[in-house]
Structure 1
């Protein structure tokens, strides 16, 4: 799909190379909480889940509630690590800057605070001012289409004219349910062997191993 009316980006693992960093912090903090967790286990269990879903799963595995302040502690710890170590997915910034005035937005399961801090750290906040859409704005998160339909509405474009860049099967399913074209991106440090097959099974129209490949498909 060349020259889409708007490009909608997932964020973590697509623009910010944050999935490995976030899951490393999560695994460390879960282990301290009494639930020994490796980085690979964190990927398998929690990537693509909303916060309330993740907490429910953690409490089920712990067989007890998490401490009342654990969520705030995890967020503070993760943001401190992001401020120190967060980098972009290689090529993301160049792709975004090459868009010129083309409509674009972010449709992410992350919190508004995490998105704002991450965009600030990466120096990309000005490219998405007023066009950052968190799942907290809709009733249903991915794989429901709600966040993508909200983004299209706010960008004043028809859903079927949008191109979505996603790295998770749940995000691909949500974008396809919204009637959008989807490129599954494999450029993040967290991508494991066989992830391309998962994205294709979820309905991705194209698979790209890098942002250069995305540009060849979309621009």
Structure 2
């Protein structure tokens, strides 16, 4: 049975620029000047525990005890006011409503729940929202995608992953899944497609319209093999 696995930030929600801008501001306030591009390069697409290690390495010191809570509050507030979808995401999700699908993200369940509500997409995924909090290892390890396939009741080779980060693409490859590297959100910078290809992306798309074509072809191949 074919299934679609969506990363969330930078794929469904155009959230990476917002979240990383808030993060850059917070790290800068601690005395380590950090731009949006710095944050995107160093921290984007990683599990929070790994981001903390990276920030502390950059600072050369431990983060304040309240840093994570304060950052989360500031980020969620920005999402409530400014979050938008990646253009075309909701139309694609609605068009492929009959195909088993899920979210498999490095973000927390709390953040995913809020963002899906803000975007009006919670009903499209129901309980099929999976976070790296649920597995031992985050991306680029395959754990979250293997969990997703198991929960959807399908085999990894029958899953198509839609991702925007190199870590996510590597995780999909490690899980034995076909992947689309999507370069459509506002945080995408020059040469990102090349980095996704180097990480193992099966396909590259620059819009949800291109994803539509690639997903249709994938589903046709899966049906032919059934």
Superposition TM-score tier, normalisation by shorter sequence: over 0.9
Please give the alpha-carbon distance, in whole angstroms, between the structure 2 residues aligned to 1:17 and 1:100.
Answer: 21
Match of 1:108 in 2: 105
What is the Cα deviation at residue 78 of structure 1? 0.2
Match of 2:221 in 1: none
User: How far does the alpha carbon of each residue in 1:171-219 deviate from its partner, in whole angstroms, 9 at most, with x for none?
Assistant: 0010011111001100010000100100111111110000000001112
Please give the alpha-carbon distance, in whole angstroms, between the structure 1 residues aligned to 2:180 and 2:52.
Answer: 30
| 1:213 and 2:210 are equivalent in the alignment | yes
**After the TM superposition, which parts of structure 1 deviate over 4 Å for at least 4 consecutive aligned residues?**
none
Match of 1:139 in 2: 136
Match of 2:224 in 1: none
User: How far does the alpha carbon of each residue in 1:140-187 deviate from its partner, in whole angstroms, 9 at most, with x for none?
Assistant: 110111000000000001110000000011100100111110011000
Please give the alpha-carbon distance, in whole angstroms, between the structure 1 residues aligned to 2:135 and 2:14.
Answer: 25
Match of 2:4 in 1: 7
Please give the alpha-carbon distance, in whole angstroms, between the structure 2 residues aligned to 1:206 and 1:19.
Answer: 21
User: How far does the alpha carbon of each residue in 1:11-48 deviate from its partner, in whole angstroms, 9 at most, with x for none?
Assistant: 00000000111111111111112221001111111012
Taking structure 1 as the reference length, the TM-score comes to 0.97
Taking structure 2 as the reference length, the TM-score comes to 0.94
Match of 1:48 in 2: 45
Q: Count matched residues.
A: 216
Please give the alpha-carbon distance, in whole angstroms, between the structure 2 residues aligned to 1:183 and 1:64.
Answer: 38
